Structure 1
Amino acid sequence: MRILVVEDDPFVREMAVSGLEDDGFEVIAAADGGQALSLLDTEIAIDALLTDIRMPEADGWEVAKAFRRRFPDLPVIYVTGYSERLDPVTGGVVLPKPYKLSQAISILRTWDT
């Protein structure tokens, strides 16, 4: 399963990428929403999206909606350290920060069928 991780905090991003790779996932990382959206101009193919919500250039809501236009059934996990309006795509899951990577992995495993 190929996961796109979009996180602007380098430490959190590296922890997520390393943990997901250690658990057998193939991971692509983007440093912010703008970088994630630029990946749509490539031939990227992903099976799930794990995205922070508050980021520069484009927030996680925008990123998920853009990726859903290309991949209509794309599973999405949103992570956030803020209480804010919730606008997940249908089927999206919101995890509050700090989150345990095992929570995200458990959700991803249910989608990896």
Structure 2
Amino acid sequence: MPSSDLHTILVVEDDDIVRMLMVDVLEELEFKVIEADGWDPAIAALAGDQAIDLLVTDVGLGDAKERTGLDLAQQAMILRPGIPVLIASGYGNTLTLPDGAKLLSKPFSIDTLRDTVQDSLASIRTTSV
């Protein structure tokens, strides 16, 4: 049962197939999705004036400048204070996440993606009320 309330999610993933699957699932759940395949398009979206309610980023961005999803999360929190961040990773608990970011462990199911996204968006509503 979708409960997106027209939230916009920025999905950053350098693997085209994984990004496409995530976008398809989120759009089916009636979220508006902005896609980025790496650092530069993600920063451009975050620096723009379009509403973004949640950042979902892979930890490994395949960026030649060796910037990671962890770096992106930190930059997102500077550009958009209070933005919730989900970092998708297969590295599990070995990562040190930026304050406020949550881990989305790979591989994840559609149900896990949905529940984690909805939980992250619910935290916005409870902290802004």
**Aligned equivalent of 2:49:** 43
Residue-by-residue CA offset, 1:41-60 (whole Å, 9 max, x unaligned): 42232000110001133310
Matches within 5 A, 1:6-85: 6-57=12-63, 58-82=67-91, 85=94
Q: Cα offset for 1:39?
A: 2.3
Q: Any stretches of 5+ residues in structure 1 without a counterpart?
A: none
When the two chains are superposed, the root-mean-square deviation of aligned CA atoms in Å is 1.8
Gaps of 5+ in 2: 1-6
Name the CA distance, whole Å, in 2 between partners of 1:62 and 1:38. 15
User: After TM superposition, what 4+ stretches of structure 1 lie above 6 angstroms from structure 2?
Assistant: none
Q: Looking at CA atoms only, which structure, 1 or 2, has the larger radius of gyration?
A: 2
Give the count of matched residue pairs.
Answer: 113
**Does the CA-based 8 Å contact 1:33-1:56 persist in structure 2?**
no
Using structure 1 for the length normalisation, give the TM-score: 0.87
Tell me, yes or no, if the aligned pair for 1:76 and 1:89 is still in contact at 8 Å: no
Judged with a 3 Å threshold, the aligned counterparts in structure 2 of structure 1 residues 44 and 85 are, in CA distance, closer, same or farther, namely farther
When you count helix as a share of all residues, which structure comes out higher? Answer: 2
The TM-score, its normalising length taken from structure 2, stands at 0.78
